[in-house]
Structure 1
């Protein structure tokens, strides 16, 4: 049984001098899986993440609806130009995030981490940070277990579903998971990792889920970019010594309450937000028309 709060997780990890990823692996082993099998499965997930985060940077991937596509290549090319204000590290991470979203929208294989709509954030953050820090695949796999542990806590105490809690629960959770994982990858403590997750949640609190035409493409793909950048910058923020004034558990609790108070029109129904704008309605019609014609 996994612990039910960040406070409990921190206490256990600190008392045993272990990381979140180690506790997460141990919890999986208690369910009857051996350590080798657990690591092999997560390594498979990592390989899929690598492919999906790179494919769109090298190929113009167009979604089935035609709503999105080809932008990951543009960002990737721009990252090599030397013109970016943010530098090649952040822009390449942005390209990776968008690549995953484009592959997903084109019916390619991705890892839902924690959902398909937020599939680009964790891969982009983990792989980019690993590349920057010269980390091995083993370290990346460990980071994914850290992210999983944080994701479990969010799922237990709030939601990772846009239909239940808005995009704060999808892209927000993914970014929180990624930030915590990157902090541990950088040598930060369990407390620091949870601080990073808390800061991310605070910064996305109230983010609505308003997919145009009900498809996780617009604005979802670009929110994956935003979530990736937020996770990486927050990791640096925490590693500099900045702490979250609001504990992780309180942040998750607040996200849960905000999600419940949010209107149904703002929770993946495509009835509010950007989906209900004049442009959103036009894009919906064009996407549905293309889908209808493709089935003839």
Structure 2
């Protein structure tokens, strides 16, 4: 039950009448020589860590190593609770949890790299919001995580998820594609709709640069995780509505890599361009290093 492209994955789903999560679950069990129960158990543990990271900063405020972020998730939660959110409950929760995970990561807490530490808030942020808004159980979310894993595996195998190689489009873009596919399956989408959601999620973030201030995975990384979650939600909704993407997933992955190669090195995790090169960011960088 192995595959090395989105096209092969769809064929396996069609031939076996499987969802993407079914294929990925069997592949993982075979790859690691584990039982289905052990494979699911590992994914449940990953989701437990994700949920803990979503809630920790809301219960116990943390400050990042560089001091650039901290407390943002609680502010969005408080605005939603006040009844003033312009995003609605679903998106507001996704924003809150995505922000929270990056606060945990930047304060050296425990997170799940999904697919990277810098993009670790996108997938749990969207999935936990879905779970709460639609009263889903953990097993449904676990299925979504296997689908997300399949998408992440294909992007890593055929392109990259490293910002240093292809910019933030490879980190937050990949995470958003994973989350979009997961949300589509959880809400009843077909395998093709899941990959359509992932395709448009990647296309929407093509060219996104990686320009961390002071070289720290804090700012603007946290903000971009929110964009990744919101993008995933929109893309899943489009796919579930029956909007078909005529560019196949595999071609979009190749395109993302090609775009990544053309991004100047200053905009690939070097902190030499973009947001990191602004006057305000340079002053903040000096403050950080003077205080160390």
Q: State the TM-score, normalized to the length of structure 2.
A: 0.97
Question: Which residue in 1 is equivalent to 2:219?
Answer: 218
What is the Cα deviation at residue 66 of structure 1? 0.7
Deviations 1:98-126 (CA, angstroms, capped at 9, x unpaired): 00000110111111110000010000111
Write the distance in 1 (CA, Å) between the matches of 2:167 and 2:138.
33
Aligned equivalents of 1:208, 1:239: Cα separation in 2? 29
Q: Aligned partners of 2:80, 2:239: CA distance in 1, in Å?
A: 25
Query: Which residue of 1 is the match for residue 27 of structure 2?
Result: 27
SS in 1 for 2:270: coil
How many angstroms apart in 1 are the aligned matches of 2:283 and 2:13? 52
**Which residue of structure 1 aligns with residue 208 of structure 2?**
207
Distance 1:287 1:158 in 2: 34
Residue 196 (structure 2) pairs with residue 172 (structure 1): no
Residue by residue over 1:242-286, the C-alpha shift from the partner in whole angstroms, topping out at 9 and shown as x without a partner, is 111221111111001011111111110111111111111111112
2:46 alignment partner, SS class: helix
Partner of 1:109: 110
What is the CA-CA distance between 1:60 and the residue it aligns to?
2.4
1:229 Cα shift? 0.8
> Structure 2 CA distance, aligned partners of 1:49 and 1:25?
19
Q: Deviations over 1:200-245 (max 9, x none)?
A: 1110000000001111101000101111111112111111111112
Instruction: Give the SS at the match of 1:112.
Output: coil
Q: How many residues align?
A: 291
In 1: Cα distance, 2:126 partner to 2:93 partner: 10
Q: Identify the residue that residue 80 of structure 2 maps to in structure 1.
A: 79
Aligned to 1:156: 157
SS at match of 2:165: helix
* Pairwise CA distance, 1:197: 0.3
1:278 corresponds to: 279
Once residues 14 and 143 of structure 1 are traced to their aligned partners in structure 2, the CA distance between those partners, rounded to angstroms, is 18
2:2 and 2:12 map into 1 onto residues whose CA distance is: 11
CA shift, 1:21, in A, is 0.9
Listed as ranges, the gaps of 5+ residues in structure 1 are none
Give structure 2 stretches of 5+ with no counterpart. none
Match of 2:236 in 1: 235
Please give the alpha-carbon distance, in whole angstroms, between the structure 1 residues aligned to 2:110 and 2:85: 30
Distance 2:153 2:187 in 1: 22
Q: Is 2:35 the counterpart of 1:3?
A: no
In structure 2, the partner of 1:287 is 288
Following superposition, the deviation at residue 5 of structure 1 comes to 1.0
In 2, Cα distance between equivalents of 1:84 and 1:29: 43
CA RMSD of aligned residues (A): 1.1
Which range is displaced more, 31-40 or 92-101? 31-40
Equivalent residue, structure 2, for 1:145:
146
The equivalent residue for 2:137 is 136
With normalisation by structure 1, the TM-score equals 0.96
Runs of 4+ in 1 over 4 A off after TM superposition: none
CA distance in 1, matches of 2:30, 2:42: 16
